[in-house]
């Protein structure tokens, strides 16, 4: 009489302790590895605005980029910009800074004033925020970053455009149609035209 063959019983692998698994954290390279500089020239800014005007929401997008560049806004600052900070009658913009920045009052130039008035006039629904998405919600910083990157590609910039480019200025700057005041001033001073390589340290003292 033959004995029945025993079937091998599959063995389950031992449980893996996820705390013992070796992990590697991706290392982000310095900004210089992604773009050659941290600012935009006036010519590049003009090309960026022209590309933004051709987008689906051309007027809103170009106005957002113009205001961010003129007043040195970070992404969080331009996305949080509200109508109560803007005095259209007196052409004044009350700037609120993040990261311990100094608040200030900037004048609004003529092209900015016309763009803001049109934007407010064409806004379908009332919102406290100046720049809103299609869903009538405030713009997110990620959405602003995508807008800048997309406009940079359409404009044919030689490097990837980033919101950081709006908050920094080159070491020397001559008065142009897109120049902004000294970012460290409590009030706007048009006689100041020189900006540091990275204005963050001057604007946001430690």
pLDDT in tens, 46-77: 999 999 999 999 999 999 999 999 999 999 99
For residues 147-167, average pLDDT: 89
Please tell me which residue, 41 or 203, carries the higher pLDDT value: 41
**In whole angstroms, what is the distance from residue 51 CA to residue 53 CA?**
5
Q: Report the chain's mean pLDDT, rounded to a whole number.
A: 78
Question: Residue 146: which pLDDT band, with cuts at 50, 70 and 90?
Answer: very high
CB 93 within 8 A of CB 115: no
Return the bridge partners of 104, or none.
Answer: 95
Q: Quick one: which H or E segment has residue 66?
A: helix 58-70
Highest-confidence segment of 13-17, 79-83, 161-165, 194-198: 79-83
What structural domains does the chain harbor? 37-203 (1.10.443.10)
Query: What is the pLDDT at residue 2?
Result: 65
Question: What is the distance between the alpha carbons of residues 63 and 118, in angstroms, rounded to a whole number?
Answer: 10
CB atoms within 10 A of CB 57: 14
With cut-offs at 50, 70 and 90, classify the pLDDT of residue 134. Answer: confident
Long-range contacts of 161-166, Cβ-Cβ distance < 8 Å, separation of 24 or more: 161/40, 161/48, 162/34, 162/35, 162/38, 163/68, 163/74, 163/75, 164/31, 164/38, 165/38, 165/39, 165/40, 166/40, 166/65, 166/68, 166/69, 166/72, 166/73, 166/74, 166/78
User: pTM for this one?
Assistant: 0.70
Question: What is the per-residue pLDDT across 30-41, written as a single tens digit (0 to 9) for each?
Answer: 877 777 778 888
């Amino acid at each position: 009489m033959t004995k029945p063959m025993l079937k091998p019983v599959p063995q389950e692998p031992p449980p893996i302790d996820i705390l013992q698994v070796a992990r590697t954290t991706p290392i982000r390279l310095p900004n210089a590895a992604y773009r050659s500089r941290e600012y935009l020239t006036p010519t590049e800014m003009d090309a960026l605005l022209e590309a933004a005007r051709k987008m689906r929401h051309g007027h809103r997008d170009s106005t957002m980029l113009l205001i961010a560049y003129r007043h040195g806004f970070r992404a969080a600052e331009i996305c949080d910009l509200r109508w109560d900070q803007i005095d259209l009658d007196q052409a004044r913009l009350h700037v609120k800074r993040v990261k311990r920045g100094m608040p200030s009052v900037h004048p609004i130039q003529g092209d900015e004033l016309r763009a803001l008035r049109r934007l407010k006039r064409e806004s379908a629904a009332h919102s406290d925020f100046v720049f809103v998405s299609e869903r009538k919600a405030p713009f997110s910083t990620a959405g602003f970053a995508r807008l800048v990157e997309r406009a940079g590609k359409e404009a044919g910039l030689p490097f990837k455009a980033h919101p950081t480019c709006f908050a920094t200025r080159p070491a020397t700057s001559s008065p142009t149609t897109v120049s902004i005041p000294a970012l460290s001033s409590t009030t706007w001073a048009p006689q100041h035209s020189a900006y540091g390589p990275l204005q963050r340290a001057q604007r946001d003292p430690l």
